[in-house]
């Protein structure tokens, strides 16, 4: 979805959205806001009345007792109102905070469950970051919007009361206030539109800065940063992006400054006219001092209520732009079918035939297809190896088979049916996988293998760990299966080596026991003995399942029923290890190169591996 120049949702729709959310989850919020507004406006009105009322008592020479009574009465009212306000503020802030956290989980759900191609889309990634920023603290728009709505209500109540108070004055004065108010609002609205239209620029800068921040704090980059002296590069890029970002911020500030200047001019004009009129009334009609003070304070206060409404509506509008971004992120189109797709119940022994029917694939924004017209049937129960040089398209082919990507041309079929019609989550349930870029959870060994907190089958976990060759390692851990892994969350967590983590991922794939097994370089981080051990077990692990196996170590492919050799996005050779060697093509050439390095001078290539 490309960013439109206009926000998808206007302010009213966004306020409606927030009210709807609160009605479903924290229904008290709007009522508490309303009560806060009434109490705050009540306090201001009491403050307005107190001095003229006391002055009036003096003017009419009232007895001291009634003077004291008036002061005590107003003091008590103010005390009550301010006490109530402090209490309401505490109560409402908890609910507002909880609602904001709920909105954070909505974004993280979207990111975790969105169609996979969206995760490769930088625009979506930037949008998610912006949406998370809009929920990150109580001052963020998703929470601060309630304070703004409360302020608007406060100002409206004050406006109404003051309007009633001033209704006896000349209507032209009210017209002046109305016109200046409207002019100010329209102007600030226009400026806010400019900010919204330039938000993509801000997204880009923030995305780059966040990337640099993440990279410099990410432990996995720590070695490269030191060895390759990446810090100067990071500093240079940071300075360059910061310069551009600051230019943009200056421009934005200049636009906001214009709002303030125009607002100031309008306020001075409004107040000036109002005061001139009141002074004229005092001089010509002998307005008493207490009334003069009341009207004088009311006019000044009235313009403040109006300015308050104006300011807060502008602020609401700004917050609404962020809320619109938040909602647009949630609305980001899904290219895959999920709950609206056909269900696909699976069992571990379900036969799965995956067929590529004239499949081509081009990554978004790429100029060329990565895969060209692939026709391939991966038979149920077949062990298929995919080999080829870097960038040949092996991972892309596996991504298509797993349903992470949909072909740009052609179809991927499961047992003869186009996979696009299925609930994609059901389709994913068919796969057990070990990917190159695996993800270990900061959780216990058992949770990592079972990928759940409750209902873990411990016997099965042990069995899978054993198959992956981790029994000894787990036995040596302080709390066995319950040992926490990783140190980002658990200070006393255990760090595994690359090879141990890869074995753990293998155990995880075995625990899931999907009918299709995908192994994308599963032995890359293993030592030769471990690698040999895994190969020995490979037949057992894949028994009865369809399996896809990417490897750069061609010796491992001998365990497979068929080998595909991919070059430049096309299947150029396929067959068994022996038949491909006999054919003397690209595969045989690659094998010869590898064999040479494994055992120089050995005439028997196969023995050499």
Ligand X SMILES: Nc1ncnc2c1ncn2[C@@H]1O[C@H](COP(=O)(O)OP(=O)(O)OP(=O)(O)O)[C@@H](O)[C@H]1O
In the complex, the smallest distance separating the C-beta of residue 590 from ligand X, rounded to whole angstroms, is: 12
Q: Are strands 431-434 and 417-418 parallel, antiparallel or unpaired?
A: unpaired
| Interface with ligand X, residue 368, by CB under 6 A | no
The answer to whether 381 and 543 are in contact (CB under 8 A) is no
Q: State which residue, 74 or 116, has the beta carbon closest to ligand X.
A: 116
The answer to whether 266 and 321 are in contact (CB under 8 A) is no
In the complex, the smallest distance separating the C-beta of residue 454 from ligand X, rounded to whole angstroms, is: 36
Q: State which residue, 120 or 195, has the beta carbon closest to ligand X.
A: 120
Residues 209/215/217/223 CA torsion (nearest 10 deg): -150
In the complex, the smallest distance separating the C-beta of residue 436 from ligand X, rounded to whole angstroms, is: 7
In the complex, the smallest distance separating the C-beta of residue 390 from ligand X, rounded to whole angstroms, is: 4
Q: State which residue, 184 or 388, has the beta carbon closest to ligand X.
A: 388
The answer to whether 122 and 211 are in contact (CB under 8 A) is no
What residues from 120 to 139 belong to the interface with ligand X (CB under 6 A)? 120
The answer to whether 390 and 510 are in contact (CB under 8 A) is no
In the complex, the smallest distance separating the C-beta of residue 207 from ligand X, rounded to whole angstroms, is: 16
Q: How many residues bind ligand X (CB under 6 A)?
A: 12
What residues from 379 to 398 belong to the interface with ligand X (CB under 6 A)? 388, 390-396
Q: State which residue, 205 or 565, has the beta carbon closest to ligand X.
A: 565
Q: State which residue, 558 or 570, has the beta carbon closest to ligand X.
A: 570
> Which one among 279, 366, 582, 592 touches ligand X, defined by CB under 6 A?
366
Q: State which residue, 36 or 517, has the beta carbon closest to ligand X.
A: 517
Read out DSSP for 355-410?
EEEEEEE--TT-SS-SEEEEEEEE-TT-EEEEEESTTSSHHHHHHHHHTSS--SEE
Q: Which of 132, 133, 134, 121 is nearest to 3 (CA)?
A: 121
Q: Could you tell me which stretch among 22-30, 363-371, 425-433, 475-483 binds ligand X (CB under 6 A)?
A: 363-371
Question: Residue written as tokens 């009434």?
Answer: 38
Element (H, E) at 498: helix 498-512
> Which one among 370, 448, 500, 502 touches ligand X, defined by CB under 6 A?
370
Report the distance separating Cα 115 and Cα 335, nearest Å: 6
| Interface with ligand X, residue 363, by CB under 6 A | yes
Q: State which residue, 52 or 388, has the beta carbon closest to ligand X.
A: 388
What is the C-alpha R_g of the chain? 35
| Interface with ligand X, residue 590, by CB under 6 A | no
* Residue 365 main-chain phi, psi, to 5 deg: 75, -10
CA 370 to chain centre: 29
Q: State which residue, 401 or 465, has the beta carbon closest to ligand X.
A: 401
Residues 6+ apart with CB under 8 A from 540: 467
In the complex, the smallest distance separating the C-beta of residue 119 from ligand X, rounded to whole angstroms, is: 9
In the complex, the smallest distance separating the C-beta of residue 391 from ligand X, rounded to whole angstroms, is: 4
In the complex, the smallest distance separating the C-beta of residue 363 from ligand X, rounded to whole angstroms, is: 3
In the complex, the smallest distance separating the C-beta of residue 425 from ligand X, rounded to whole angstroms, is: 22
- Joined together, the tokens standing for residue 371 give 């895969």
- Residue 496 is given by DSSP the state P
Q: Footprint of ligand X on this chain (CB under 6 A)? A: 120, 363, 366, 370, 388, 390-396
């Amino acid at each position: 979805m490309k960013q439109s120049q206009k926000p998808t949702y206007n302010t009213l729709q966004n306020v409606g959205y927030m009210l709807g959310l609160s009605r479903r989850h924290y229904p008290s919020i709007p009522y508490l806001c309303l009560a806060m507004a009434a109490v705050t406006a009540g306090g201001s009105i009491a403050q307005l009345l107190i001095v003229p009322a006391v002055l009036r008592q003096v003017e009419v020479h009232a007895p001291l007792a009634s003077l004291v009574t008036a002061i005590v009465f107003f003091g008590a009212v103010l005390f009550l109102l301010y006490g109530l306000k402090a209490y309401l503020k505490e109560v409402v802030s908890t609910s507002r905070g909880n609602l904001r956290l709920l909105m954070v989980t909505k974004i993280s759900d979207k990111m975790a469950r969105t169609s996979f191609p969206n995760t490769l889309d930088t625009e979506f990634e930037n949008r998610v970051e912006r949406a998370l920023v809009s929920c990150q603290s109580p001052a963020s728009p998703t929470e601060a919007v309630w304070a703004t709505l409360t302020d608007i209500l406060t100002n409206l109540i004050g406006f109404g009361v003051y309007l009633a108070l001033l209704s006896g004055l000349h209507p032209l004065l009210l017209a002046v206030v109305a016109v200046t108010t409207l002019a100010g609002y329209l102007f600030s609205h226009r400026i806010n539109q400019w900010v919204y239209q330039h938000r993509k620029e801000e997204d880009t800068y923030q995305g780059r800065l966040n990337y640099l921040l993440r990279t410099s704090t990410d432990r996995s980059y720590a070695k490269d940063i030191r060895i390759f002296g990446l810090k100067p590069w990071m500093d240079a890029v940071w300075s360059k992006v910061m310069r551009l970002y600051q230019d943009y911020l200056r421009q934005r500030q200049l636009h906001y400054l214009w709002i303030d200047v125009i607002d100031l001019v309008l306020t001075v004009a409004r107040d000036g006219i109002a005061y001139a009129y009141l002074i004229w009334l005092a001089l010509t009609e002998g307005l008493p001092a207490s009334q003069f003070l009341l009207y004088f304070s009311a006019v000044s206060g009235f313009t403040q209520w109006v300015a308050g409404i104006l300011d807060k509506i502008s602020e609401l509008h700004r917050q609404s732009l962020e809320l619109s971004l938040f909602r647009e992120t949630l609305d980001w189109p899904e290219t895959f079918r999920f709950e609206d797709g056909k269900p696909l119940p699976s069992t571990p022994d379900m036969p799965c035939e995956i067929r590529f029917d004239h499949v081509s694939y081009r990554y978004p924004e790429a100029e060329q297809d990565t895969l060209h017209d692939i026709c391939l049937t991966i038979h149920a129960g077949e062990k298929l190896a995919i080999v080829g040089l870097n960038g040949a398209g092996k991972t892309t082919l596996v991504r298509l088979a797993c349903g992470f990507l949909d072909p740009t041309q052609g179809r991927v079929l499961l047992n003869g049916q186009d996979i696009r019609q299925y609930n994609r989550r059901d389709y994913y349930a068919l796969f057990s996988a070990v990917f190159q870029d695996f993800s270990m959870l900061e959780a216990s060994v058992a949770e990592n293998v079972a990928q759940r907190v409750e209902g873990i089958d411990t016997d099965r976990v042990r069995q899978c760990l054993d198959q992956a060759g981790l029994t000894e390692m787990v036995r040596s851990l302080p709390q066995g299966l319950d040992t926490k892994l990783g140190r980002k969350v658990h200070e006393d967590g255990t760090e595994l080596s690359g090879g141990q983590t890869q074995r753990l991922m293998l155990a995880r794939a075995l625990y899931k026991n999907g009918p299709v097994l995908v192994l994308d370089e599963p032995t890359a981080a293993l030592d030769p003995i471990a690698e040999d051990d895994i190969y020995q077990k490979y037949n057992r692990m894949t028994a009865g399942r369809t399996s896809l196996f990417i490897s750069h170590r061609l010796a491992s492919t001998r365990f497979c029923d068929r080998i595909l050799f991919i070059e430049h996005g096309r299947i150029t050779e396929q067959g068994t290890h022996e038949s491909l060697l006999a054919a003397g093509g690209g595969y045989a050439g690659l094998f010869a190169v590898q064999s040479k390095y494994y055992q120089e001078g050995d005439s028997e290539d196969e023995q050499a591996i």
